[in-house]
């Protein structure tokens, strides 16, 4: 269950700061912009009494109200202490924006393991670490340090926050937008499958999109796609398709990149749309946003160019589609 990440009643930003150069300041400002009146925001900063007009608490344990999600932006070296306090506070979920874990070295991987074990035992869901946060544009909620996405009906899960950010710009240029966005980072707990389950049942998530570098449980992931595809289009872009890309993906999110050819076959079999590059990804999202889902494989081509008709014909065969014949009435 991950719905409370997107519909929190209370948020604690741990590591809030008045320094405009730090992410703790960006996250605080972004949440305060157009903040939903039903969401309470609490700032935890032991060195400040007030930031942006809001009272600061020395610890999350000093907040009397229950907390749905704690967003952590403290240095990695003190993360365990903060996690212990969140567990004692009995928060529902944690978003760890802090980086410096498995994407760095083995010691960081062990730190992640300890966090995951503690939180699993306490029944607390964890997103991240090494992520930018989440957004629910339907609530005007931007609980991240990147700019707010334009509003729309596309929901996105990304292993890269900067890719999501770049996608927002590209979608806006096409007149498209986002409903929900989640950057799962190193995904020590909350996974693609968890977020997909939420998007599957979310009425405003009309189209689902994914930027993926790694997948930890391929079978569960493909089974979840199989559940979604009959009802919602799903578009996926895979980073780390080559040997060099796989190495880069490992240093980015700290996981071994998934074999592209195996993933490609599985995704094609369940009927999702797999894109080869970012441009194709945006084009696919635009296509599914403005056109109805085809009911068959026949394609009609109307053109005043002989060369274009030849190129269209090549693509039809490449994608195993059929060229439709126009009726005599239509020709007349």
Q: What is the pLDDT of residues 76-124, one digit of tens each?
A: 999 999 999 999 999 999 999 999 998 888 998 999 999 999 999 999 9
Segment 155-175, tens digit of pLDDT: 999 999 999 999 999 999 999
Contact 86, 120 (CB under 8 A): no
User: Span 183-211, mean pLDDT?
Assistant: 97
Q: What is the Cα–Cα distance from 195 to 164, expressed in whole angstroms?
A: 15
Residues 6+ apart with CB under 8 A from 98: 15, 72, 73, 74, 75, 76, 79, 128, 129, 130
Residue 253 has pLDDT above 80, yes or no: no
Q: What is the Cα–Cα distance from 210 to 51, expressed in whole angstroms?
A: 35
Residue 144 in domain: no
Residue 255 has pLDDT above 50, yes or no: no
Residue 132 in domain: no
Where does residue 285 rank: exposed (0-12), middle (13-18), buried (19+ CB within 10 A)? buried
How many structural domains are present in the chain? 3
Residue 258 in domain: yes
Percent of the chain with pLDDT over 70: 95
Give long-range contacts, CB 8 A cutoff, 24+ apart: 117-120.
Answer: 118/83, 118/84, 118/87, 119/83, 119/87, 119/94, 119/189, 120/189
Looking at the fold, whether 169 and 121 belong to one and the same domain comes out as: no
Beta-bridged to residue 229, according to DSSP, are none
Among candidate residues 140, 134, 45, the one with its CA nearest the CA of residue 95: 134
Tokens standing for residue 43: 């700032």
Among candidate residues 139, 91, 100, 143, the one with its CA nearest the CA of residue 118: 91
Residue 246 has pLDDT above 60, yes or no: no
Q: What is the Cα–Cα distance from 61 to 44, expressed in whole angstroms?
A: 10
pLDDT band, residue 5 (cuts 50/70/90): very high
- For the chain, the C-alpha Rg in angstroms (whole number) is 22
Tokens standing for residue 243: 């040997």
Looking at the fold, whether 254 and 315 belong to one and the same domain comes out as: no
Looking at the fold, whether 92 and 183 belong to one and the same domain comes out as: no
Segment 220-237, tens digit of pLDDT: 999 999 999 999 999 999
Residue 141 in domain: no
- For residue 263, what pLDDT is reported? 86
Look up the CATH number of the domain holding residue 23.
3.40.50.720
Q: What is the Cα–Cα distance from 211 to 166, expressed in whole angstroms?
A: 12
Looking at the fold, whether 276 and 246 belong to one and the same domain comes out as: yes
User: Span 199-208, mean pLDDT?
Assistant: 98
Q: How far is C-alpha 184 from the geometric centre of its chain's CA atoms? A: 6
- For residue 330, what pLDDT is reported? 81
pLDDT band, residue 256 (cuts 50/70/90): very low
Residue 71, domain extent: 3-127
Segment 131-140, tens digit of pLDDT: 999 999 999 9
Residue 285 in domain: yes
Among 69-78, 111-120, 270-279, 298-307, the range scoring the smallest mean pLDDT is 298-307
C-alpha distance across the termini of the chain, in Å: 57
- For residue 40, what pLDDT is reported? 97
pLDDT band, residue 252 (cuts 50/70/90): very low
- For residue 306, what pLDDT is reported? 85
Looking at the fold, whether 153 and 286 belong to one and the same domain comes out as: yes
Residue tagged 């339907």 (tokens): 138
3-state SS, residue 249: helix
- For residue 309, what pLDDT is reported? 84
Q: What is the Cα–Cα distance from 237 to 166, expressed in whole angstroms?
A: 14
Looking at the fold, whether 70 and 49 belong to one and the same domain comes out as: yes
């Amino acid at each position: 269950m991950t719905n409370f990440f997107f519909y929190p009643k209370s948020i604690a930003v741990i590591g809030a700061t008045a320094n405009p150069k730090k992410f703790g300041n960006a996250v605080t400002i972004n949440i305060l912009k157009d903040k939903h009146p039903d969401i309470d925001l609490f700032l935890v900063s032991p060195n400040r009494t007030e930031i942006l007009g809001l009272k600061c608490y020395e610890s999350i344990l000093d907040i009397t109200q229950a907390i749905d999600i704690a967003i952590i932006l403290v240095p990695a070296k003190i993360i365990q202490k903060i996690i212990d306090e969140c567990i004692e506070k009995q928060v529902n979920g944690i978003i760890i924006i802090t980086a410096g874990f498995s994407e760095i070295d083995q010691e960081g991987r062990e730190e992640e393991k300890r966090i995951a074990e503690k939180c699993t035992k306490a029944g607390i869901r964890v997103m991240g670490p090494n992520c930018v946060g989440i957004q629910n544009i339907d609530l005007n909620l931007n609980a991240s340090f990147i700019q707010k996405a334009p509003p729309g009906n596309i929901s996105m899960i990304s292993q890269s926050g900067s890719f999501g950010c770049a996608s927002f710009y590209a979608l806006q240029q096409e007149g498209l937008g986002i409903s929900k966005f989640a950057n799962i980072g190193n995904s020590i707990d909350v996974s693609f499958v968890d977020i997909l389950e939420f998007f599957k049942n979310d009425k405003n998530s009309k189209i689902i999109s994914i930027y993926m570098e790694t997948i930890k449980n391929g079978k569960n992931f493909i089974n979840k796609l199989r559940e979604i595809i009959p009802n919602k289009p799903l578009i996926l872009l895979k980073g780390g398709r080559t040997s060099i890309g796989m190495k880069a993906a490992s240093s980015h999110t700290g996981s071994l990149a998934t074999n592209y050819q195996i993933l490609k076959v599985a995704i094609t079999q369940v009927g999702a749309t797999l894109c080869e590059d970012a441009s194709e990804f945006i084009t696919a999202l635009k296509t599914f946003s403005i056109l109805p889902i085809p009911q068959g494989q026949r394609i009609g081509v109307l053109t005043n160019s002989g060369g274009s008709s030849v190129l269209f014909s090549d693509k039809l065969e490449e994608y195993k589609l059929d060229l439709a014949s126009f009726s005599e009435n239509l020709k007349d």
